[in-house]
Amino acid sequence: MLRDRWEAEKKANVITEKDRILDMAASIVRDDIRTKVYDGSEYPTMEGTTGGCSLVPESLDRFLRGVVKSNASAEHSSVDRRCTAISHAIIAACRPRSFISPILLAISVYIHRKYASRELIDILSSMCFADDYKEIETDQCDSKQGHTIVRLKWVHTVRV
C-alpha cells in the first residue's frame, strides 16, 4: 500500500514537471515573439524576408523544428515551408495588430481571387491561417498586369 502511494506520487510529479517545462517553453517563445520588432508601416516581401523565415524568432523556429521533425522521405524545403507557415500563424495569434505576414496575406488574396469567398477568408482568419478580409478590401486596387495589393511602399502582384 505504501509502495502504491509512492508510485502514484512519483507519476504525479513527472506529469507536473512536464507541465512546468511546457509552460516555461511557452513563456520563452511568447516573450521572444513580443520583443521582436516588426515594421508595420509596409508589407514585407517574401524575397526581403528570405521566404518569411527572418520574421520568425529563433526560439519559435527551433521549437517547431523539434515538433515537426522530418523523416527520411520528407524534403527539407517542405519542412521549412511548414514551420514558417505555422510560425506566422502563431505570431499573428500573439500579435494580431503589429505583425504583417506575407504568407497569410498571400493566402487571403489567393482565396479572394480564386473563389471570391469572404466567408472562407473570415473562417481562416479567425483561426489565424489567413489575413483579415478587411485588409484585402482596404489595400487592394486593380492593375493591368494583374491584381495588386498596395500598402505604402510594398507592392505584390498576384496572378490567378
- pLDDT digit string (tens) for 2-39? 777 767 777 777 778 888 999 999 999 999 999 998 87
Please tell me the predicted confidence (pLDDT) of residue 142. Answer: 37
Beta bridge partners of 157: 148
Q: What gap in Å lies between CA 91 and CA 68, rounded to an integer?
A: 17
Quick: pLDDT tens for 103-151. 888 898 889 889 988 999 999 999 989 988 887 776 564 333 444 444 4
In the prediction, which pLDDT does 50 show? 67
Check residue 4 and give its pLDDT. Answer: 77
- C-alpha–C-alpha distance, residues 104 and 130, integer Å: 4
Altogether, the residues listed in the chain come to a count of 160
Those residues whose C-beta lies under 8 Å from the C-beta of residue 47, and which sit 6 or more positions away, are: none
pLDDT at 31: 96
Helices (H), the chain: 2-35, 58-67, 76-94, 102-115, 118-126, 133-138
The rounded distance, in Å, linking the Cα atoms of 116 and 85 is 23
